Structure 1
Amino acid sequence: MTTTKYVIGIDYGSDSVRSVIVDARTGSEVSSSVHYYRRWQQGLFCDPSNNQFRQHPLDYLEGLEITIKDCIEKAGGKHIAEAIKGISVDTTGSSPVAVDQHGTPLALIPGFEENPNAMFVLWKDHTAVKEAAQINAHATKFDTNYLKYVGSIYSSEWFWAKLLHVLRADEQVNAACHSWVEHCDWIPFVLTGGSNIREMKRSRCAAGHKALWAEEFDGLPPNEFFATLDPLLDGFTSRLFTETYTSDQSAGTLSPEWAKRLGLNTSVVIGVGAFDAHMGAVGGQIEPYHLSKIMGTSTCDILIAPTADIEGKLIKGICGQVNGSVIPGMVGLEAGQSAFGDTYAWFKSILAWPVKRLLADSAIIDASTAKALEEEMLDKIIPELSKQAALLPNHLDDELGIDWLNGRRTPDANQELKGALFQLDLGTDAPAIFKALAESTCFGAKNIVDRFISEGIPVKGIIGIGGVAKKSPFVMQMMADVLNMPIRIHQFSHTCALGAAMFAAVAAGIYPTIEDAMEAMGSGFDAEYHPNPANLDYYATRFLRYKSLGDYLEQNTISTPEKVQSQPQLT
């Protein structure tokens, strides 16, 4: 029998779920497994043209069971399973769902199986733009600024806007919906065998950053705030929560049903969940005043600061400041970009259109060769674009991009905004456009850093985490040049899952604090990018042009009263 203690970190991303078994003594990976959501891969329940992105709870449950069992088998089977002491989960967010009084998502109840409104509303779903605008306008009518801890602007990507939109859009869901639950709260509830929604332990991270929970309000804003916004919300807070929990705490132990399904024992502790970026920042060994950038399809940027330093400060235009949302005893500050890797994926998809549509009908090569050629070409598009873009000389009048292809998250959330390309001519080629798009995402990152600094929050360095950080030296060097800051890249491949594993180790009592777990289980950094002095003036000038073009687009594309109302600044 092994005396080593193991923990499992589970990371739910936009396209897949990954589970990792970690040695709690060292933080080293024992095994990992990934499962791509079957229904999501088929494009079911989504309508990108209308910004609707929904995920079925069965995708989450299937992935949970498949990846954990696969991890255990890869790690050595029963003797490893017996030494697993804790499990913690991170998810995308805000990705909430309508549930009944038992905490069951409506999509798992007969009659709602194929109804997108009964499914999880993914973070990138922007169907609630109208509701977000109404929340922002409504908040100005109150003496208390209930948006003060979420940057004074509420986003269509968040809890209340999505809830209101779904209740308005679907009478059947409205009638059956007892409560509204974040994905990161639901999975621990499932694993612990929860059957009463009132007993669900809600994440401080999710509640504070997306649902307007605040210590100052003794919970959520009062019923009057929501009832006067829309009568559909009258009394709804009584079906939600008052208390929240930091992720170093236990949500309970593994239920007999799930212990049997997973091949584990019922003494396994399940930690309180959180969002992927917040646990990822811990996995990436975040330090006070160092900005942790989790760079995937979007970015989520996390900064922590001692509570005493933030006392009396309200950071405008970010995605929230919440005591204990990352590390207990510290204030977690969240920002981010709505499209980062998605920007590159969009351009890849455009270039790949003829490859996907025409190769299969080729009269020259057979079907199997066509398929193999398609896969080879798609794998090489971004690396080759990066290589060729890096060879281009820097000219101030080069093509310029705006990175709002999925709206703007921060600073100053506005999901109505659209991306743009400027300075195109007949000499513009694919590498030049890719370079402009990469620059735009780096300029978007600088906008966030500049907002923190202008609001009195120093940024001492950048920690890069995620797929883009690990795979694209071209983008990372450009970002170091644009920010004029060094960027350290964390070496662990599955950093969000590692952060979840660290929290599992604390919840299970292996370490007394998350700081102790970070010190013991942190794996360090394997790359660092330093600004190239030769590029600093070039990018400083280009950034000013990016800002000017962005200001022009924002002022000239927000024309209706509804859009104007989406941008009030509360004091």
Structure 2
Amino acid sequence: MITPNEHFVIGADFGTDSVRVVILDAADGRVAGSHVAHYPRWKKGLYCDPKENQFRQHPLDYTESLVEAVTGAIREADTARSRTDKGSISGRIRAISVDTTGSTPVLADRFGTPLSLLPAFAEDPDAMFILWKDHTSVQEADEINRVSRSWGGTDFTKYMGGVYSSEWFWAKLLHTVRKNPKVTKAAYTGIEHCDWITAVMTGTTNPDVIKRSRCAAGHKIMWHAEWGGYPPREFFDKLDPKLSDIRDSLGTDTWTTDVSAGTLTPEWAQKLGLPESVIVCVGVYDAHIGAVGGGAAPGTLVKSIGTSSCDVIIGPKPAAGQKEHLIAGICGQVDGSVVPDWIGYEAGQSAYGDYFAWFRNLLMWPIQNLVASDPDAKDLDLEKIEKAILRTLEEAASHIEPTESSVLALDWVNGRRTPFANQNLTAAITGINLGTDAPAIMRALLEATAFGARSIIECFEDGGINIQKVMAIGGVARKSKLGMQILSDVINRDIHVTAGDQSCAIGAAVFAATAAGLYPDIFTAQKALSAGTERIHKPDPARVAIYNKLYEKFRKLGQFIEGETR
């Protein structure tokens, strides 16, 4: 039994726009302090070109924001405790676990330094981290798929749903090394964000000693125990010999998140205001660690819903002598990517909250330009309008009842992740007439994301995965009651929305506490620290019947759009 107020752990969740750090009591998961730090360069739109689907982030955004967030969380915790406890909480922090978006790789030199930290590449977007949502490498992903199926050996995508995506490691690096000779010449290795940030804090950035994440390597980098690590040089030589060299720099081993990557270096201990004895866990992706914080268990599908969605479920490993059953169309199945000794299955949608953000930005365009060009409109509060617009639209959309003739939309505004990744695909909206207003389109977008979620569930079930419960975590799940109710009606299942918005931090705390020896295993720590369920959305039978018919139209619309996509 762990005594409250004695042992604390840190979860650092690197999202698309910011890093959130939460300090949790390892005894019961109570939040002692938290802080959010936004990436300053990303906030300015530097190194990005949305029209070209280019989204890059500078490594200094990560390190500077991490320091701000950790010190801010400690300050908040100490302030809250000052009335009863005069000692700083920092001396009782035992471990820190970090999760990031992914696949978000960077090219680095022989010492594991991202090239953008070198003077020669300080402003080169190709030397930055390539964010998960960057889709500049669609053609390279297509080529990887062609080679995988035709090179004469193993299809190395078979544990990745059978399709390699432009959102993933090798496609992004292949695009970069072909495009930028100077960056290519300077590059020695490729590193995922979740691996680099933990390596920096522990002083293990040398590619020969860095502990690579099983989660990242298995789901995005083609690692699998069946072929002893990564595909052979012969495979990568058919794409580009530079990839073969990068492949050799990765080693063959990977580690699960309950393993220690090391302890804080003196430099990082000083920066963060923590003891050098603090354990740093092996890095992981946000949705996978969030799934643990959200109640991942056999039979429980955890939907992490934010800018995009990531759907995660775990299942048992095959019995001795039996082969692992392959599920086509998902984003990979990896032993230990979520919970050690269990296979983690991943799927998702390339856009969820981003779909609504696109619609908001579309509606905001004339207002923003009016303010810029009309002196009489200069007093309009754009930030206030922007924050209110989706909330107002959702409220109005909640009063619209679905019918068989409702406006219908596809959710492929950022391509399709699952089933069968295809980033060439685009969204569509149909059924518009002169009576269609903005709330009707808003509801159609909410329904489109729910239809996309249903297609993922069907993909899992077609592959033999038994889904008994659906948990929803993440910002959109917490904020959009209408969205979650529509999701419940579309999939005809209860939707359990997690209590609080700290699932990633709780998941990180679970791994940190286990790595620190405070709990014997992940499931025991999860039971002690989980926040539980806040609300449950139950399907409405009348709407279920209507949505069944609309879903068939959704599928036919998708088939048409996919057939027309070249």
Please indicate the TM-score interval, normalised by the length of the shorter structure: over 0.9
After superposing the two structures, state which structure 1 stretch, 288-297 or 308-317, moved more: 308-317
1:245 aligns with 2:255: yes
1:538 aligns with 2:546: yes
1:436 aligns with 2:444: yes
1:364: how far off? 4.2
Q: Please state whether the residue corresponding to 2:414 is helix, strand or coil.
A: coil
**TM-score, length basis structure 1:** 0.95
Give the counterpart letter for 1:352 in structure 2. Answer: M
Aligned to 1:422: 430
1:63 pairs with one of 65, 70, 94: 65
Aligned to 2:83: none
Matches within 5 A, 1:407-486: 407-486=415-494
1:363: how far off? 4.4
Contact 1:360–1:370 (8 Å) recurs in 2: no
Aligned to 1:120: 129
Contact 1:227–1:235 (8 Å) recurs in 2: no
Contact 2:4–2:25 (8 Å) recurs in 1: no
Aligned to 2:264: 254
In the TM superposition, what whole-angstrom CA distance separates every residue of 1:106-139 from its partner, at most 9, and x where no partner exists? 1001111000010000000011111100000001
1:355: how far off? 2.2
1:102 aligns with 2:111: yes
Aligned to 1:564: none
Q: Please state whether the residue corresponding to 1:308 is helix, strand or coil.
A: coil
In the TM superposition, what whole-angstrom CA distance separates every residue of 1:342-372 from its partner, at most 9, and x where no partner exists? 000100111111222213555446x4x423x
After superposing the two structures, state which structure 1 stretch, 540-549 or 76-85, moved more: 76-85
Contact 2:496–2:536 (8 Å) recurs in 1: yes
Aligned to 2:353: 341
In the TM superposition, what whole-angstrom CA distance separates every residue of 1:526-553 from its partner, at most 9, and x where no partner exists? 1110111111110000000000000011
2:293 pairs with one of 253, 263, 283: 283
After superposing the two structures, state which structure 1 stretch, 139-148 or 91-100, moved more: 139-148
Matches within 5 A, 1:82-481: 82-141=91-150, 142-308=152-318, 311-359=323-371, 361-364=373-376, 367=378, 369-371=379-381, 374-481=382-489
In the TM superposition, what whole-angstrom CA distance separates every residue of 1:129-188 from its partner, at most 9, and x where no partner exists? 111000000011233121110001000000111111111111111111010000000111
Structure 1, unpaired ranges of 5+: 559-571
After superposing the two structures, state which structure 1 stretch, 489-498 or 180-189, moved more: 489-498
1:79 pairs with one of 70, 88, 101: 88
1:507 pairs with one of 494, 505, 515: 515
1:456: how far off? 1.1
Give the counterpart letter for 2:44 in structure 1. Answer: Q
Contact 1:299–1:337 (8 Å) recurs in 2: yes
Contact 1:2–1:79 (8 Å) recurs in 2: no
Give the counterpart letter for 2:70 in structure 1. Answer: I
1:234: how far off? 3.4
Contact 1:88–1:270 (8 Å) recurs in 2: yes
Give the counterpart letter for 2:318 in structure 1. Answer: A
**1:122 and 1:528 mapped to 2: Cα distance?**
33
After superposing the two structures, state which structure 1 stretch, 224-233 or 103-112, moved more: 224-233
**1:217 and 1:511 mapped to 2: Cα distance?**
33
**1:243 and 1:453 mapped to 2: Cα distance?**
31
Contact 1:202–1:243 (8 Å) recurs in 2: yes
Aligned to 1:5: 7
**1:357 and 1:114 mapped to 2: Cα distance?**
29
**1:324 and 1:278 mapped to 2: Cα distance?**
10
1:521 pairs with one of 509, 529, 544: 529
In the TM superposition, what whole-angstrom CA distance separates every residue of 1:62-82 from its partner, at most 9, and x where no partner exists? 111000011111111762000
Give the counterpart letter for 1:41 in structure 2. Answer: K
Contact 1:316–1:412 (8 Å) recurs in 2: yes
Aligned to 1:566: none
Q: Please state whether the residue corresponding to 1:30 is helix, strand or coil.
A: strand
**1:361 and 1:552 mapped to 2: Cα distance?**
41
Contact 2:148–2:156 (8 Å) recurs in 1: yes
**2:324 and 2:102 mapped to 1: Cα distance?**
27
In the TM superposition, what whole-angstrom CA distance separates every residue of 1:265-317 from its partner, at most 9, and x where no partner exists? 11000000100000000111112121111000000110111113895310001
**2:564 and 2:435 mapped to 1: Cα distance?**
28
**TM-score, length basis structure 2:** 0.96
**1:206 and 1:234 mapped to 2: Cα distance?**
19
1:378: how far off? 1.7
Structure 2, unpaired ranges of 5+: 80-86
**1:35 and 1:16 mapped to 2: Cα distance?**
6
**1:490 and 1:447 mapped to 2: Cα distance?**
23
Q: Please state whether the residue corresponding to 1:370 is helix, strand or coil.
A: coil
Give the counterpart letter for 1:12 in structure 2. Answer: F
1:488 aligns with 2:496: yes
Contact 1:89–1:184 (8 Å) recurs in 2: yes
**2:255 and 2:386 mapped to 1: Cα distance?**
44
Q: Please state whether the residue corresponding to 2:262 is helix, strand or coil.
A: strand
Give the counterpart letter for 2:143 in structure 1. Answer: Q
- Number of residue pairs the alignment of both structures matches: 554
**2:92 and 2:28 mapped to 1: Cα distance?**
15
After superposing the two structures, state which structure 1 stretch, 310-319 or 85-94, moved more: 310-319
Q: Report sequence identity in percent.
A: 48
Contact 2:188–2:245 (8 Å) recurs in 1: no
1:85: how far off? 0.3
Aligned alpha-carbon RMSD (Å): 1.5
Aligned to 1:563: none
1:229: how far off? 2.1
Aligned to 2:33: 31
Contact 1:19–1:32 (8 Å) recurs in 2: yes
Q: Please state whether the residue corresponding to 2:121 is helix, strand or coil.
A: coil
Q: Please state whether the residue corresponding to 1:32 is helix, strand or coil.
A: strand
Give the counterpart letter for 1:80 in structure 2. Answer: I
**1:468 and 1:331 mapped to 2: Cα distance?**
27
Q: Please state whether the residue corresponding to 1:31 is helix, strand or coil.
A: strand
After superposing the two structures, state which structure 1 stretch, 98-107 or 385-394, moved more: 385-394
Contact 1:2–1:83 (8 Å) recurs in 2: no
1:492: how far off? 2.5
Give the counterpart letter for 1:266 in structure 2. Answer: E
Q: Please state whether the residue corresponding to 2:416 is helix, strand or coil.
A: coil
**1:3 and 1:17 mapped to 2: Cα distance?**
25
1:235: how far off? 3.4
Q: Please state whether the residue corresponding to 2:471 is helix, strand or coil.
A: strand
**1:438 and 1:323 mapped to 2: Cα distance?**
33
Contact 2:36–2:69 (8 Å) recurs in 1: yes
**2:544 and 2:247 mapped to 1: Cα distance?**
50
Q: Determine which structure has greater relative contact order: mean sequence separation of CA pairs < 8 Å that are 6+ residues apart, divided by chain length.
A: 1
**1:470 and 1:299 mapped to 2: Cα distance?**
13
